[in-house]
Amino acid sequence: MNIIIFGPPGAGKGTQSDFIVKNFNLFKLSTGDLLREEIKKKTPLGLKIASIVNSGSLVSDDIINNLIENVVSNKKYENQIIFDGYPRNLSQAENLNKLLLKYKQKIDIVIKLTVSLDVIKKRITGRLTCSKCSKTYNEFFSPPPANMICCQGGVLQKRDDDNLDIAIKRYETYEESTEPVLDFYRKMNLVKDLNGEMNIESIQSEISGYLTVIEGWLCKITPYKYIF
């Protein structure tokens, strides 16, 4: 089963994709990780990427698509990928479709976490992190202990990068840029909209429900996979 997960920054996409990876034995494919890995390996492509990133430019679709093909063509990951942060635009989505077809795979479900801008704002402005144990709280949704002490020696702090204007801009940019991509998958009847404002466990159980159905269905149409 291959999955794509969408959700604006602050929607809890990371938490949910980690949950899926763990419970459904998938590999998370994030373009950020792919780029960082390639840079670390110092391959000719990695060096090229490093110079692009260092100059502050965006890495081209071509380069990203190449990196994605390396993963999709690898038997180790066959039909076990969760795409996180990709495809980011329509041309990437069309490319992914071509690639999957080439390697006889497909996307089985697209999960869209929907969260209103208002809730995103509260999640960001209300977030408190313990300086000692890194536990996070939120003034609005999961308040810290009344005395504002999490653990001994810990101070609850607001993160520096929690700049609201930037967050609003990111949210709006994300929603605008992924809308055409979502439409693309809606036409294929693959999108499940999930209310990202529910608590983490409720979202996880909804996701589990969908994925278990898909797994059962895949198991029935490809029984040979399970004989050996």
Taking CB under 5 A as the rule, does residue 130 contact Zn ion? yes
31-69 b/e (C-beta count within 10 Å ≥ 16 → b):
beebbeebbeeeeebbeebbeeeeeeeebeeebbbebbb
Choose the catalytic residue: 36, 48, 88, 135.
88
Catalytic site includes residue 13: yes
Q: Is 14 in the site for Zn ion (CB under 5 A)?
A: no
Tokens encoding 21: 């990876």
Reference 109, options 10, 226, 26, 222; nearest CA is 26
Q: Which of residues 140-179 bind Zn ion (CB under 5 A)?
A: 150-151, 154
Catalytic residue chosen out of the listed positions 106, 159, 186, 192: 159
User: Shortest approach of Zn ion to residue 135 CB, angstroms?
Assistant: 5
Active site annotation includes 36: no
Among 98, 132, 159, 169, binds Zn ion (CB under 5 A): 132
Supply the minimum distance, in Å, between the C-beta of residue 152 and Zn ion. 8
Q: How far is the CB of 173 from Zn ion (least distance, A)?
A: 33
Annotation says 88 is catalytic: yes
Asked whether the beta carbons of 133 and 151 are under 8 A apart, the reply is: yes
Helix (H) or strand (E) holding 174: helix 164-186
| Residue that is written with structure tokens 């990427």 in the block | 49
- Token code pair at residue 224: 């040979």
Residues that bind Zn ion (CB under 5 A): 130, 132-133, 135, 150-151, 154
Q: What is the set of active-site residues?
A: 13, 88, 127, 159, 170
